[in-house]
Structure 1
Amino acid sequence: MRVVVVGAGLAGLSCARLLHTAGVDVTVLEKSRGPGGRLTTRRRDDWQGDLGAQYFTARDPEFVESVAEWQEAGVAAPWHGRLVRLHGADIRDVADGQRRWVGVPRMSAITRWLASDLDVRPQTRVTGLRRGGAGWQLDTDEGGRLDEVDQVVLAVPPPQAEPLLRPHVPSLAAAARSARMQSCWAAVFRGLEPAPAFDAAFVMEHPLRWVARDGSKPGRGNSGIWVAHGSGGWSDARMVMEPDDVAPELAAALADTLGLSASPEVLSVHRWRYSQCVEPLTDGYLLDTESGLAACGDWCNGDRVEGACLSGQRLARALTASHQSC
């Protein structure tokens, strides 16, 4: 069985790694310069900041086992920063008993480790799927093509999966279309004065929804780098704007919510067009065994880092079982 996974985020890599371990011929295509998806980190010579997922929790025993493997490999560690909830001037510690984990020395370390033994082809965008006599044909940008593919896994956001599924399996396309996504503007800052007395905060009823001192996470050198995420509604309203135009608004919002004496320095701004699934599916993954098309991702399985990993792993097991029964 030859499998092509489209998308080198956590779901796609988790699926591909399990297939590879089972002896399946698997290739991963990624439109960006490298693996990561929303487990991504922006880096420069003198700073770094996790722009996407900020941490993850582990509840399901299967995911707990995966996290233990990551920890043993040295690419994940628990984060013990002080987490609060901000509602105007009201600051309350979050005491929910959850252990929060992060990638070490950055979030992208996890996906790079998962990709280390895989055939990952970066900067390769899939532009079309066609059914041929010997399997699927995948058209890629710049005129490329992969032939004789038995199974295609779309590990991409639902608005990107839906048009590829629509001509071939309308039922899967409809499921992808029902998973409504929200956007998010994210930015990296430094120069926060006065420095807050906490390490991260859920921000309530504000243009921002999250702020965190990236340097408080293990492996970051205790730097003064901070990351902020805009709320879904605020970000959606600015999705057509350019990063340079959104940057001062994000800086002003951060200064407002933290009571800073001046706007901080903006180091980087990123637009997550498909950041969070407002209405995630509960199927775990999408699979049509007859056609050989499937999809996975956090949007299929509850919208968490944990859900993304489990979605990819469970799809891989379903594909392996289906192939062995043929």
Structure 2
Amino acid sequence: MEFYPEGHRIETTQNRLRTASLFALAEAAKSQDILEGKAVVCDAAHNLIVELGEGLRGIIPREEGALGIREGATRDIAIISRVNKPVCFVVTGFETRDGAVMPVLSRRAAQQRCSDEWLCRLAPGDVIDARITHLEPFGAFADIGCGIASLLPIDAISISRISHPRDRFSVGQKIRAVVRARDSEGRIALSHKELLGTWLENAAAFSPGETVAGIIRSVEPYGIFIELAPNLAGLAEPKGTVQCGQAASVYIKSLIPSRMKVKLILIEGFSSPAFPMPFSYFDPGAHIDRWRYSPPDCEKVIESVF
């Protein structure tokens, strides 16, 4: 069994077949397959009603809505916030409501399996798939399997500093992430910047003499920091009135690997805000032990050790 962020299975052929009829759901109950459906209602008792096959709906009782609900360690918002979104579950039984048979489902059981069979095996440095679930000023939360959330602190999102995670991510976005650490309670923290390339890898896409697009990330008395890529920013001299978050066009004066410096000239800052800069991953494989951002001959060392 492979475990994925919620939403991965819902449109697959196998999931559609396994949720298409009461007979198929009964077979899934025997095999305890993890399936997905769309939560369409959270009733007054905080039970989730889940849309399955055509004309079929199932129910996730409140205590089965997420790990920790039964014990009081997880708030009911973890259930309420799933409405109009995919939810994973295993089929635990059937009950009759208003003369109709309704499958009884458990999201908690699916999450427990994910925790026991997948998340407990993860070690710092492992590279995994995740999906952004919500954004806070201090970081992004990402689903790392069956709706189990993990924190990606803002300082671990990219080398180029951002004012808010929304500068880099959007809710629902699929990302890759690195397991940063696991605390005493088993909660996993993530990192992301190690997948966006080193200084040299990013700088290789630019050349002195070019005029390129950028995003203004910081305005200081001594200069303006402008992002060229999520893991590469340069400094331009102060010019006019510009604001953080604006798009800009910049001329590249020089690239200095030994000092990790990119010298820029700000051509123009635009009044409209910039869209999040697209990013691509530099494939590190399935695991990273050590990642060094700095060029080999640079005195300043920026690295991650897992």
TM-score greater than 0.5 by the shorter chain? no
- Which structure is higher in RCO with an 8 Å CA cutoff and minimum separation 6? 1
Q: Which protein is bigger by CA-based radius of gyration?
A: 2
Q: How high is the TM-score relative to the length of structure 2?
A: 0.25
More helix by share: 1
More strand by share: 2
